[in-house]
């Protein structure tokens, strides 16, 4: 009887489902798992491993279960951010490499070590694909909404339904290529691919390659392909990259039409190419969400979200890891901590009217709705303030400002330098080129 009364005195635990065990899902799981008396946690991951897109494979087609390959990682990728900034604030040990811009396998090992360190394996169900999520409105406030998460075990094909009180979605957004339509593209006789399926420069030895798009991947892939290709055209409509590039990389304006091997550019010039790589980004997709979620994705704006994170219609549903042009891992940390504080009623959300203001584009195109860039630091600090926890250390902001300026000026050589943070939290670039 005593046991019974003690048990009934405990508040009922909330069930929290996390979708995906990439960096986002792992950060989410870590913060939920800090409250074992309050939350029951389960993480569903379709792959047979944690770490998401940092699991490199030569394969570009389908995996052993016939599902499209998730990762967009390429063979020789080194990070474009120093590990000193990539690391989560609560787990700084990037083991194995002294250099700041580490190989993809080092990041994967870091995420695996993070999983071990915080004992997260016990919550993670691998080989488990989330196929559908139904949102079921309860009778009370937003806490009474539940989610029916339909999953399929990819090994034995058994299906299950898990009912949970909160959902943290971390399925990633670099797996569904966005390919603009260019008149005549179907007449191009050479190899056409998207950065999602780019793997290694050897595949382009001796060729002339057109790379469309000069964001992080377009620039990085152009420099890499230039090692084996005869010539690379980096085609884009942004301001010209002023930094030194390999001698065989030429910046040209965007491709507007294709006729066989001949590409017509925005400025009227023509070039010829043997291969074409689209580095034109990705389309966000949540194939498991139906209308009951209240969420629409319009040209990569996930709507309606408060703070790029909380579903305004059902605030117990979060889209963790959505912002772009950010230092990802520390931002995931802040978002996960914020959302867990919300679930614990440590703070109250503002009115729906005020939250809806957050969805306004203020002149931006929808496609850029979740681009944060320099605004990420105030964003991180605002979340910490609203939820009442310590902001992340200021060396992230200062180190990134330093690194970003350096990277922009030295596109070709910045990965040979390192960023160090001293014991007083002061960042410095060492071995500058």
Which of 22-30, 114-122, 155-163, 355-363 is the region at the interface with ligand FAD (rule: CB under 6 A)? 22-30
Report in angstroms how near the CB of residue 24 gets to ligand FAD at its nearest: 3
| Closest-CA residue to 55 (of 139, 112, 137) | 112
For residues 167-186, which are near ligand FAD according to CB under 6 A? Answer: 170-172, 174
CA distances from 273 to 210, 277, 304 (A): 6, 11, 42
List the one residue from 32, 41, 53, 214 that touches ligand FAD (CB under 6 A): 53
Report in angstroms how near the CB of residue 294 gets to ligand FAD at its nearest: 19
Query: Three-state DSSP class for 154?
Result: coil
CA distances from 332 to 51, 104, 324 (A): 14, 19, 12
Mask of contacts with ligand FAD, 325-354, x by CB under 6 A?
A: ---xx-------------------------
Pairwise CA distance, residues 13 & 4, whole Å: 16
Pairing of the two strands 270-272 and 262-265: antiparallel
Tell me if 201 contacts ligand FAD by CB under 6 A.
no
DSSP label at residue 339? H
Tell me if 129 contacts ligand FAD by CB under 6 A.
yes
List the one residue from 15, 52, 234, 307 that touches ligand FAD (CB under 6 A): 52
Nearer Cβ to ligand FAD (121/143): 121
Mask of contacts with ligand FAD, 55-74, x by CB under 6 A?
A: ---------------x-xx-
Tell me if 224 contacts ligand FAD by CB under 6 A.
no
Report in angstroms how near the CB of residue 326 gets to ligand FAD at its nearest: 8
Report in angstroms how near the CB of residue 336 gets to ligand FAD at its nearest: 11
> Residue 277: phi, psi to the nearest 5?
-115, 120
List the one residue from 18, 19, 212, 312 that touches ligand FAD (CB under 6 A): 19
Pair of tokens at residue 202? 């050897």
Pairwise CA distance, residues 305 & 289, whole Å: 15
Tell me if 45 contacts ligand FAD by CB under 6 A.
yes
Measured in whole angstroms, how far is the alpha carbon of residue 133 from the centre of its chain? 21
Q: Is the dihedral of CA 55, 157, 292, 383 positive or negative?
A: negative
Q: Which long-range contacts (CB under 8 A, 24 or more apart) does 416-424 make?
A: 417/100, 418/82, 418/98, 418/99, 418/100, 419/82, 419/84, 419/85, 419/100, 420/84, 420/100, 421/84, 421/395
Tell me if 115 contacts ligand FAD by CB under 6 A.
no
Tell me if 281 contacts ligand FAD by CB under 6 A.
no
Tell me if 123 contacts ligand FAD by CB under 6 A.
no
Which of 57-65, 75-83, 289-297, 308-316 is the region at the interface with ligand FAD (rule: CB under 6 A)? 75-83
Nearer Cβ to ligand FAD (81/419): 81
Start-to-end C-alpha separation, the chain: 73
Tell me if 25 contacts ligand FAD by CB under 6 A.
yes
CA distances from 377 to 126, 273, 337, 398, 399 (A): 34, 41, 16, 10, 12
Tell me if 24 contacts ligand FAD by CB under 6 A.
yes
Nearer Cβ to ligand FAD (265/277): 277
Q: Are 252 and 245 in contact (CB under 8 A)?
A: no
Footprint on this chain of ligand FAD (rule: CB under 6 A): 19-25, 44-47, 52-53, 70, 72-73, 79-81, 86, 129-130, 170-172, 174, 217, 288, 321, 328-329
């Amino acid at each position: 009887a005593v046991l019974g009364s003690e048990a009934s005195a405990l508040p009922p635990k909330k069930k929290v489902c996390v979708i995906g065990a990439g960096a986002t899902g792992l950060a989410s799981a870590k913060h939920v798992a800090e409250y074992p008396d309050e939350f029951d946690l389960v993480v569903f991951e379709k792959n047979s491993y944690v770490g998401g897109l940092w699991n490199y494979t030569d394969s570009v087609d389908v995996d052993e279960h016939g599902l499209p390959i998730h990762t967009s990682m390429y063979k020789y990728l080194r990070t474009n951010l120093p590990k000193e900034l990539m690391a989560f604030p609560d787990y700084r040990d990037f083991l194995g490499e002294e250099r700041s811009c580490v190989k993809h396998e080092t990041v994967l090992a870091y995420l695996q070590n993070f999983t071990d360190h915080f004992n997260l394996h016990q919550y993670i169900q691998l080989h488990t694909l989330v196929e559908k999520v139904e949102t079921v409105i309860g009778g009370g406030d937003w806490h009474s909404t539940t989610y029916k998460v339909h999953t399929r075990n990819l090994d034995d094909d058994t299906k299950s339904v898990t009912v949970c009180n909160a959902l943290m979605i971390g399925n990633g957004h670099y797996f569904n290529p966005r390919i603009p339509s260019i008149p005549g593209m179907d007449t191009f006789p050479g190899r056409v691919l998207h950065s999602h399926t780019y793997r290694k420069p050897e595949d382009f030895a001796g060729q002339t390659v057109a790379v469309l798009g000069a964001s992080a991947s377009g620039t990085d892939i152009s420099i890499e392909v230039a090692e084996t290709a005869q010539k690379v055209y980096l085609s884009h409509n942004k301001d010209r990259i002023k930094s030194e590039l390999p001698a065989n990389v030429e910046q040209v304006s965007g491709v507007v039409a294709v006729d066989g091997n001949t590409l017509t550019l925005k400025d009227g010039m023509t070039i010829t190419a043997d291969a074409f790589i689209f580095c034109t980004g990705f389309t966000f997709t949540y194939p498991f969400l139906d209308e009951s979620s209240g969420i629409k994705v319009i040209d990569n704006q996930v709507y309606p979200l408060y703070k790029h994170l909380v579903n305004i219609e059902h605030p117990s549903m979060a889209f963790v890891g959505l912002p772009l042009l950010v230092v990802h891992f520390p931002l995931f940390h802040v978002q996960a901590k914020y959302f867990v504080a919300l679930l614990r009623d440590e703070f109250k959300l503002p009115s729906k009217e005020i939250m809806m203001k957050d969805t306004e584009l203020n002149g931006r195109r929808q496609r850029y709705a979740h681009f944060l860039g320099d605004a990420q630091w105030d964003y991180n600090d605002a979340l910490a303030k609203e939820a009442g926890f310590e902001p992340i250390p200021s060396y992230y902001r200062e180190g990134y400002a330093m690194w970003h300026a350096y990277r922009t000026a030295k596109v070709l050589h910045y990965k040979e330098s390192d960023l160090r943070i001293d014991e007083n939290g002061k960042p410095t670039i060492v071995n500058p080129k």
